[in-house]
């Protein structure tokens, strides 16, 4: 019996690997609740897919910042008994739904076990509300046995005069246009025409080694928030690169300059201490690397819209 269970789990792992090899990083293998080597492989694969999903989206932004498009991908119409009336082609493909079944399928069949309770509470709200509209993350159960977490907007469409009552589920996804070479070329050409005034240095595509170096600079800053940053030249030397690459690469990868990143992180940390500790504000300012209290207070207000003292006075969380 145990080997039969393992067989199913191995099949799911293979399915997941196939899915990854096709460039689909949004599926996950449902956890079995076992605590064995196979489950360890499953967990690692799921974590890896999550990381790849984010990293590849990030690459896409890096390569074509204006070329990321969002489009509706899944569109499902249900009757008021939560049975499928119809769905768009992409959803039909995903669920292998042919729309020819004699009896309409209950949508709950497409929801993974860990989403059933949420779906139940949504259906309850749908029934009791005259005009329901809400966003939910639902884990969908695919025919392959994998699970795909999907953000849906769910709303009721009620047209009493026409006697039309239905529930619409709609999700969107970000399309990675960087995978389409033609798009990239077109966007580069369009950018050249539309922004001739841009004086920023063209950022070359970052190599894997560059990414590691920039990540180490990022970590170095976080680990030394309370002290002054060395000069760019010194920091570049510490991280094993040159000043130019560090300066432009960091901005390209993290979307802000090194010094702005350090300031923001210092402020985030200060806010954390202010809200959750008894440390006095001057100590917090010093601990987070600010040279003077007045400077800290000013930049804090610029970022959050109120002074550190106001946060202490009125917004502190319960102890």
| Subset of residues 101 to 120 that bind other proteins, contact rule: CB under 8 A | none
Q: For residues 189 and 222, which CB has a smaller minimum distance to other proteins in the complex?
A: 222
Q: For residues 41 and 105, which CB has a smaller minimum distance to other proteins in the complex?
A: 41
Which residue in 3, 4, 37, 196 binds other proteins (CB under 8 A)? Answer: 37
Which residue in 1, 2, 22, 35 binds other proteins (CB under 8 A)? Answer: 35
- Measured CA to CA, the distance from residue 221 to residue 229 in angstroms comes to 7
Q: How many residues bind other proteins (CB under 8 A)?
A: 25
- Measured CA to CA, the distance from residue 16 to residue 27 in angstroms comes to 7
* C-alpha dist (Å) from residue 239 to 162, 207, 261: 67, 15, 17
Tell which residue, 157, 177, 173, 144, has the closest CA to residue 74: 173
Q: For residues 106 and 226, which CB has a smaller minimum distance to other proteins in the complex?
A: 226
Q: Buried b / exposed e across 210-242, counting CB within 10 Å, b at 16+?
A: beebbeebbeebeeebeeebeebeebbeebebe
End-to-end CA distance of the chain: 52
According to the binding rule CB under 8 A, does residue 219 interact with other proteins? yes
Q: For residues 172 and 273, which CB has a smaller minimum distance to other proteins in the complex?
A: 273
| Subset of residues 235 to 274 that bind other proteins, contact rule: CB under 8 A | 269, 272-273
* C-alpha dist (Å) from residue 32 to 25, 35, 38, 74, 153: 20, 9, 10, 27, 29
The one segment of 46-54, 58-66, 170-178, 246-254 that binds other proteins by CB under 8 A: 46-54
Least Cβ distance, residue 37 to other proteins (angstroms): 7
Which residue in 54, 129, 174, 194 binds other proteins (CB under 8 A)? Answer: 54
- Measured CA to CA, the distance from residue 150 to residue 59 in angstroms comes to 22
Q: CB of 206 within 8 A of CB of 59?
A: no
Q: For residues 64 and 270, which CB has a smaller minimum distance to other proteins in the complex?
A: 270
Which residue in 5, 43, 72, 189 binds other proteins (CB under 8 A)? Answer: 43
- Measured CA to CA, the distance from residue 61 to residue 64 in angstroms comes to 5
* Paired tokens of 252: 């390209």
According to the binding rule CB under 8 A, does residue 39 interact with other proteins? yes
Chain contacts with other proteins (rule: CB under 8 A): 31, 35-37, 39-40, 43-44, 47, 50-51, 54, 219, 222-223, 269, 272-273, 275-279, 317, 319
């Amino acid at each position: 019996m145990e080997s039969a269970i393992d067989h199913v789990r191995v099949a799911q792992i293979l399915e997941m690997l196939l899915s990854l090899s096709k460039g689909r990083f949004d599926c996950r293998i449902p956890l079995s609740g076992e605590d064995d080597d196979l489950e360890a492989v499953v967990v690692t694969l799921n974590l890896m897919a999550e990381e790849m999903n984010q990293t590849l989206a990030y690459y896409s932004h890096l390569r074509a910042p204006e070329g990321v498009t969002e489009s509706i991908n899944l569109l499902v119409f249900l009757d008021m008994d939560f049975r499928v009336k119809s769905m768009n082609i992409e959803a039909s493909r995903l669920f292998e739904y042919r729309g020819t079944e004699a009896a309409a399928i209950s949508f709950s069949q497409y929801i993974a076990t860990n989403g059933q309770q949420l779906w139940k509470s949504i259906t309850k709200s749908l029934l009791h509300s005259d005009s329901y509209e809400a966003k939910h993350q639902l884990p969908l159960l695919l025919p392959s046995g994998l699970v795909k977490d999907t953000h849906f907007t769910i709303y009721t469409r009620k047209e009493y005069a026409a006697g039309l009552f239905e529930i619409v589920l709609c999700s969107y996804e970000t399309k990675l246009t960087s995978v389409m070479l033609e798009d990239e070329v077109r966007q580069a050409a369009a950018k050249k025409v539309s922004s001739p005034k841009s004086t920023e240095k063209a950022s070359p595509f970052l190599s894997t080694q560059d990414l590691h170096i920039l990540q180490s600079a990022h970590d170095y800053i976080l680990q030394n928030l309370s002290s002054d940053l060395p000069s760019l030249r010194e920091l570049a030397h510490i991280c094993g690169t040159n000043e130019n690459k560090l300066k432009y690469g960091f901005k390209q990868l993290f979307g802000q300059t090194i010094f702005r990143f350090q300031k923001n992180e210092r402020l985030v940390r200060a806010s954390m201490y202010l809200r959750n500790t008894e440390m006095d504000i001057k100590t917090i300012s010093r601990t987070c690397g600010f040279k003077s209290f007045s400077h800290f207070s000013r930049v804090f207000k610029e970022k959050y819209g109120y002074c550190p003292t106001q946060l202490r006075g009125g917004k502190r969380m319960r102890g």
